[in-house]
Structure formats: structure tokens, C-alpha cells
Chains A and B, each alone.
Chain A
Amino acid sequence: MTVSVERGIQTLKEHIDAPVASFFTTCVHCGMCADACLFYTETKDPKYTPIYKLKPMRRLWHQEYTFWGKLAAKLGLSKPVTAAELKEWEELVYDSCTMCGRCSMTCPVGNDIVYMIRKMREGMVAAGFAPEGLKAATKRAITIGSPMGVKLPALKNQIKHIETDTGLTIPVDVNGAEYMALLSSMEIMNFPEYIGAIAKIFHSAGISWTLASDAFEATNSGIQIGSSDLAAELVARVVAAAERLKVAYVISPECGHAYMALRWEGPNLIGRPFSFKVIHILELLDQLRAQNRLPVTGKIKEKLTLHDPCQIVRRGGVVDEPRRLLDMVAADFEEMEDHGVMNWCCGGGGGVSANERASKLKLTAFNRKRHQLEALGVNTLITACANCRITLEEGLEFNNMDVVVLGLAETLAEHLEQQTSSSATTATQ
């Protein structure tokens, strides 16, 4: 079994479903999606118009599933999709799309363009046209368990440091805990503060939680590269661990697509409902806030703004939670012009940050965020996605901008009221 154009086309045929057919039929060629895409707005290159990125798939739909298309193909008036064409489109489908979904929001006839990009990637993987960087990351995710190759000893090492720093125990493999937390490799390696932050907050709120030694990784490279088969395998690992530990909730970390992969795509990928609920860390923190279980003191005085991670906000619906949480610790919070569900992507989502070939384009696309930040004149930027954070830091450094990027959970943990009574401590036991 090897990848081939035929296999790719066969895969596309199986993924062209009723929504895709209706989207292609109703597209009015208005081009409004171009202005919604940061790869177009920052380059003004019309090939980055979102709907154009689907051209081979559109032609295939036309040839296979429409009367006139079939006729034209028979008469030789419309040429078949070729390897060269898919190769050419690889850059459009992977390098210049972060699957941020902003195009789907502006389409006047309601076509979900990003839904189709996701499907187009299925065909690209089967045809063998996925970026090397993303292939390697996915391979590591499947064989090692983490796209960055992080193994359990590395996590244990970080846990040891955090336990020393915080004086708290980081629970691992606790049977019957209420919440099972997931982490992204990026957090383990680059932002371990996150683990300490949730440990502190959960301890203070008296939440019983655990990590799973065999499924601590939240990121799902299968989703990014666009293979349901591989994505399902990664989801199944989390499901197995959650069911083994009999937890009621699985917490998606400050990572955008991990949330989307587990919460929205997850049950469909494994073909059955979960026995637990998936909750984003921001949703949980907001619940704690509402129950007065998240006491904070002091406010950040300098002006700051919030970068909305696309998959959490636009594709995930967690819009008000981060704002309510931020309100507790920020004295001078100002929104960017386009924010919430119409935010602009950092430029590194959807597998772009794992794809070295795309790094130059990614930095060009970052100009959108740069302009947004410059317009506000802030020096502090809060976000809730480790991948956004690393992309933002890279872009800021490249542009010599003096802006600090912080995770929302760790910002809250820093302002957490110090424990005075022992009531919370006993509750964790």
C-alpha cells in the first residue's frame, strides 16, 4: 500500500459529501473570502484566495458528481487532476492555510470553506503531498506519542522541577480523579509554567485531577495533516486512558486545535460518544470564577490585549470566558479591532508552525497581527494557546517588537490569593 495520486483521488471522492457538494454548487465566486484570509491580505497574491485553494477538489467534484462535469470529462473538455497539480497545490493547502476558519465566517452564502480544506488534506495525505515537516511531526506523534518527540521521562523531569518550585504534588495516574488534564508538548518543553499554574489553581479550588502517563499529549497532528485514520488513533489513546482512570472530564489545555480535535472531531473519529466530557481549561477556570473558587488579588496595571486562538474562539465558541477571566486581573484591557469570532490568526495554526518550508510566509502573515498590536500600542499580550504563543513570540522577535506574551492560566495563577486556611488542601485528598 503506497501513496499515489489515484489513492488521493479515491480518498477525495469518499470525502466529497453532501455539504461539500452544496458548498461548491452555491459558491457565487464573489471572492469575499480573500479579504478574510491573512495570507491574502498580507501578500495580495490572489492565489491565496481560500476557495481557490480547493480548485483541484472542486474540479474533481464537478467531473465525478455533476452531469455537465461528467459530460465534459467524457468529451475530454476538462482534464483530470494530476500529480503535478496536487504538488502545486500542496503549498496552498498546507503552507498558506492555518485552518483558522475566518473565510467560513465571511462567506455570504454560508459555505464552510475550512471544512473543505480539512477534507482536501485527506486526499493530499493519501496522494503523498503533505509537507515534510508535518509528516515528520505526525510520525513522531504516532510512534513516540508526541509531535515534538517528548517522552514520559522528559515530562517526569519537568514535573519534578515544578513540584520543587510549587511545593505541590502533580498527580499522575490517579484512578477515579474527576478531571484528567492533557498537555501539549509545547507546554511541557517551552511553557512548563502552565503545569505549575493549573496545579496551584486546582489545589486552591480543591479539584481532584490527574495526568495520565500513557496519554498526556493533547495535540493531534493527525488533524493538522488531515488524516482521519491517524487522528482517530491519537484520539483513541486519550479515550482509553480517560476510561481506564474513570475520569468525568478531560481538560483540553491552552492549545487550539487539541480542543477542536478532541471535543468536536473526537467522537466522530472513533465512531462513538465519549463516556466523559471534554472541557477547555478556560471553560473550567470560568466555572471556578463563577463559583468564587478562583480568588485573585492585584491587577496588572499596564495596558494589555488578548489574542484569541482561532480554534478556541471562532471554531470552539469559548469567547466570553477568557474575557471574564482577564477582567479579574487586568486593570487596562483593550480589545484589538478584530477580535472574538472575527479575530486574526497568529499565522502558525493548522500545522503551519510544524512546516519549516512555510516559515517565511508565516512571518509575512504575522504582519497582520503586528499591525493590530501597533495600532493598540500595547506591550503585553495574553493568549491561551501554546502554539499561538510560540508563533507570536517568533514574529515579535523577528520584528524587534518589545511585547511580552503570557498564557492566561499562568497569569491567573500568579494573581492567585495565597492559601490561608487548610480547607482547600483537605478537599484535594
Chain B
Amino acid sequence: MVKPASLAEHLECHQVSRRGFLKFCALTTSMMALSPSMMPAVARALEKARRPSVIWLSFQECTGCTESLTRSHSPTIENLILNYLSLDYHHTLQAASGDAAERAREAAMSENYGQYILAVDGSIPVKDGGVYSTIAGVSNLEMLQHTVAGAAAVVAIGSCAAFGGLPHAHPNPTGAVPVQELVHDKPVVNVSGCPPIPVVISGVLAHYLTFGRIPDLDSYGRPLSFFGASIHDRCYRRPYYNKGLFAETFDDEGAKNGWCLFKLGCKGPTTYNACATAKWNQGTSFPIQSGHGCIGCSEPHFWDAGGFYQPLSAGIGSVGTLAGMAVVAGAAAGTAAGRLHQAKRKQAQRQHEKVTVADLEETDS
């Protein structure tokens, strides 16, 4: 098979229309929080982009991240972008096994040394010399160090690779650590989430293909454009929170009316991710929309952050009354301040001195 020369041709082979491609570019542009006028530039860059080599290493993980990417109902463009990458080594997806598989990795590394993108899912055990997870007799730690040497950038996919995830949870028997604790001399992008949203992964790769560098990151090393706002701030149930309307149990009136799940342990206010806007299963829904609170899977140490059904504010009294009172007090203060400001503006208007030609005389001294 002849490898397609550019992404545009590749998409055409897969019968993705020009319109579909541009829609993807527009979505990617907006998801990456770029100016709308950048859209044509993104389209041009992606059209011309060459197949970058990607080596995907899986360490202490559950394959959920790969599942998230590959399990789409229909071949999405994200998926095709992923297919389009020269995925030269991936345990789960590659046909080769044993020595042949490891040779493929060595070959990809030497052919594209200094150029390839290293994708990692899963955390790396470092306790007792890293003996707790090995591949082909090589410890994860050693394989990472070996492979990262020739990488242009590292994308840590999923909360395990980004923050340690489940293996890192107390008491962390294997001494699991995230990629960023081991890699210091290469740019690392953390695409956290358990699993992460597919479009975030494709967005990061599209950004790299378009601009040749990794996107702007937040303090946890996550792409700011996707992790810049909390789930809570973008949640369609937010108005209920503002009004103090909460579901108390999963089967009460509030739950049926779709009220805020804060009291049922929703971690939306402290979780930064794009679930509420990008959603899951091709924009169908996200956990809160299907009636369950956010568990905060894209935040560091979320496994150790208390029960999933424990409200964030547990222990400080009745949230409903308190929030209600705060809202009333806030509204009252706001209205009073508004009136005051309006009066001030009206007064300024009453004192208005009409501007005349005389006022245009030279005043500069």
C-alpha cells in the first residue's frame, strides 16, 4: 500500500469530505482557543502535514485510554487523524508480537531519532528497581528512559501517566510515578482524565502538527485550551447551583428535575476538563448529563480525594440553606450597589455641561 502523502489526501481516501475536514479544523481551532481567523491557517497546515512517527508506550495502565480513543461508533476524524499518524509501536494495536514488536520500536526510534512523538499511558513503578512491571524483560523505567532520549515531545495520556493515577493511590505498593517526575529535559503535555477525551488528544496532536510545538499549558502541564475552565463553570446545571436547587438523593424530585448534583458529591467545581463542552461519545452526553456527579478523574490524586459521593463541602453544615442565604445576601448587596451606581451615573448626567465649539479651543499648555 502506498502511504498517503498528506493528511488531506489521507482523509479523502477515507471518504471524509472537504466540508467534514473543515468542520474538524474549525472545531479544533475553537477547542484550542485560537482566533477564528486562524482557522484557514490550521486547515492549511494540517493539509500539508506529513505523517509524524508516534511511539506509544503502555505501562501500569488498564488500556482504557486506548479504548477511549479507538471505541467510536463510526470512524470519526479524530480517529482518522490517529490512524494517519505513523503509530509505529503500540502494544494493544500492533499486529507484531515478541521480538518483532520490540524491533519495530528500535527501528522507528533510529529512523526518526529526535523527531518522533512519544505517547505514554500508565504510570511507571520505580520501587525496588522498577521490577513490578516489565515488557520483554525490560523494566518500564528503563524503556521510558531509553525511548524518551530521541523524542521531540512527550504526551502523557491519561491520569496514570499524567499524575500517577490508580497505581499511585495510597499505599502505592509499586512506587508508581507519573511521566513528568522522570522526564525533565523534554516538553511533556499531560492529557489527564480516566480516560481522557479523544478530541483533547487529537487536539494536542493537531496543535503540534499545525504549529510544530506543544500548546500552552496550565500549572499541571495540561493544555490550557481544554483544561482552562472547571466542569462546574461550563456545566448546564450551573443555574440550579446558583439558585440553591440540589438533588439530595439519586431518586428524589430534584434528581428527576435535573438539579445540581453538588450534594451528591459532584467534583465539578474543583475539576478542570472539557467534558461539559466537548462531551463524550461524539458529543452525546457526559456524566452529569446522565445524572451522576463528576468524580474529578482529570485532577491529580483523585483516587485519594475522599468518597465519590461525599460533597466537596462535607462537614460545614447545611449547604442548601447556606448557599441559599449566600445567594440572597449576594443578590441584595448587588442590587443595592447597582442602585447606588445608577444614582451616581444619573447625577453625573444631571451635571452634564454641554460641549460647545468654545471647548475646542487650544488647551495644551
- Interface residues of chain A, those whose CB is within 8 Å of chain B, are 1-3, 7, 10-11, 13-14, 16-17, 21, 32, 35-36, 64-65, 67, 106, 108, 125-126, 128-130, 132, 135-136, 138-139, 142-143, 225, 227-230, 338, 342
Chain B residues, Cβ within 8 Å of A228: 355
Known contacts A16-B345, A64-B344; A338 and B37 CB within 8 A of each other: yes
Number of A-B contacts (CB under 8 A): 70
When the two chains form their complex, are residues B360 and A35 in contact, meaning their CB atoms are under 8 A apart? no
B37 near A10 with CB under 8 A, answer no
Give complex CA distance A132, B360 in Å: 9
Interface residue B35 (Cβ < 8 Å from any Cβ of A): yes
Q: Which residue of B lies closest to A106 (CB)?
A: B35
Q: Which residues of the partner chain A approach B356 to less than 8 Å between Cβ atoms? A: 1, 229-230
Decide yes or no whether B363 CB sits under 8 A from chain A: yes
Which residues in chain B, 18-52, are within 8 Å of chain A measured between CB atoms?
A: 33, 35-37
User: Which of B337, B354, B359, B364 has the most A CB atoms < 10 Å from its CB?
Assistant: B359
Question: By the criterion CB–CB under 8 Å, are A143 and B344 in contact?
Answer: no
**21 A-B contacts (beta carbon < 8 Å):** A2-B363, A7-B353, A13-B348, A14-B345, A14-B351, A64-B341, A64-B344, A106-B35, A106-B37, A125-B360, A126-B359, A128-B359, A129-B363, A130-B360, A132-B364, A135-B360, A136-B360, A139-B357, A139-B360, A230-B355, A338-B37
The interface residues of chain A lying within 8 Å CB-to-CB of B181 are none
Report whether A106 and B349 are in contact in the complex, using a CB–CB cutoff of 8 Å. no
Number of B residues with CB within 8 Å of any CB on chain A: 23
Alpha-carbon distance A408/B345, docked complex (angstroms): 45
- Bound Cα distance from A250 to B67, whole angstroms: 66
Of the candidates B341, B345, B354, B360, the one whose C-beta lies within 8 Å of that of A138 is B360
Partner of B348, one of A14, A132, A230: A14
Partner of A10, one of B35, B348, B360: B348
Contacts of A3 in B (CB 8 A): 359, 363
CA gap between A262 and B344 in the complex, in Å: 30
Residue of B nearest to A132 (CB): B362
Is B357 a contact partner of A13 (Cβ separation < 8 A)?
A: no
Bound state CA distance, A428 and B348, in angstroms?
52
Report the minimal beta-carbon distance from A59 to chain B, rounded to whole angstroms. Answer: 16
Query: Which residues from chain B contact A126 at a C-beta distance below 8 Å?
Result: 353, 355, 359
B352 at the interface (CB under 8 A from A): yes
Cβ of A229 and Cβ of B351 under 8 Å apart?
Answer: no
B343 shortest CB reach to chain A, Å: 11
CA distance in complex: A106, B363 (Å) = 37
Contact present for A35 and B348 (CB under 8 Å): no
CA distance A228 to B356 in the complex (A): 10
Contact at B345–A125, with CB atoms within 8 Å? no
Q: Is the CB of A35 within 8 A of B35?
A: yes
What are the residues of chain B within 8 A of A14 when measuring CB–CB? Answer: 345, 348-349, 351-352
Closest A residue by C-beta to B357: A142
Closest chain-B Cβ to A324's Cβ sits at a distance in Å of 24
Residues of A within 8 A of B345 (CB): 13-14, 16-17
A63 to chain B, nearest CB (A): 11
Q: Shortest distance in angstroms between B226's beta carbon and chain A's nearest beta carbon?
A: 15
Q: Mark B323-365, 1 if CB is under 8 A from A, else 0.
A: 0000000000000010001001100110111111111101110
Q: What is the distance, in angstroms, from A221's C-beta to the closest C-beta of chain B?
A: 10
Q: For the complex formed, measure the closest distance between the CB of B319 and the CB atoms of chain A, giving whole angstroms.
A: 25
Bound CA span A142–B361, Å: 13
- CB neighbours (8 Å) of B364 from chain A are 128, 132
A268 to chain B, nearest CB (A): 14
Q: Given A65-B344, A139-B360, A338-B37, 20 more contacts at CB 8 Å?
A: A2-B359, A3-B363, A10-B352, A11-B348, A13-B348, A14-B351, A16-B345, A32-B35, A67-B337, A106-B35, A106-B37, A125-B359, A126-B353, A128-B363, A129-B363, A132-B362, A138-B360, A139-B357, A228-B355, A342-B37
Closest CB of chain B to A14's CB: distance in Å?
4
Query: What's the nearest-Cβ distance from chain A to residue B91, in Å?
Result: 40
Across the interface, which residues of A come within 8 angstroms of B351, CB to CB?
A: 10, 14
Give A212 Cβ to nearest chain B Cβ, in Å.
22
Bound CA–CA A142/B359 (angstroms): 12
Taking CB as reference atom, which chain B residue is nearest A12? B348
Complex Cα spacing A138 to B358, Å: 11
How far is B359's CA from A108's CA once the two chains are assembled, in angstroms? 38
Contacts of A342 in B (CB 8 A): 37
B206 vs chain A, min Cβ distance (A): 19
What does the 1/0 interface line of B177-207 toward A look like (CB < 8 Å)?
A: 0000000000000000000000000000000
Interface contact B344-A13, CB-CB below 8 Å: yes
Alpha-carbon gap, A139 to B358, bound state (A): 9
Residue of B nearest to A35 (CB): B35
The 5 closest A-B pairs by CB, nearest first: A128-B363, A14-B348, A13-B348, A229-B355, A135-B360
Q: Which residues of B contact A129 (CB under 8 A)?
A: 363
Bound Cα distance A3, B365 (Å): 13
A229 B348 Cβ-Cβ under 8 A: no
Q: Residues of A contacting B344 with CB < 8 Å?
A: 13, 64-65
Within 8 A of A (CB), among B276-311: none
A227 to B349, CA, bound (A): 14
Residues from chain B with Cβ under 8 Å of A136 in the complex: 360
A7 to B351, CA, bound (A): 10
Query: How far does the Cβ of B329 sit from chain A's closest Cβ, in whole Å?
Result: 13
Rounded to whole Å, the gap between the CB of A242 and the closest CB of chain B is 24
Determine the chain B residues whose CB is within 8 A of the CB of A64 once the complex forms. Answer: 341, 344
Q: Is the CB–CB distance between B357 and A1 below 8 Å?
A: no
Output the nearest chain B residue to A342 by Cβ-Cβ distance.
Answer: B37
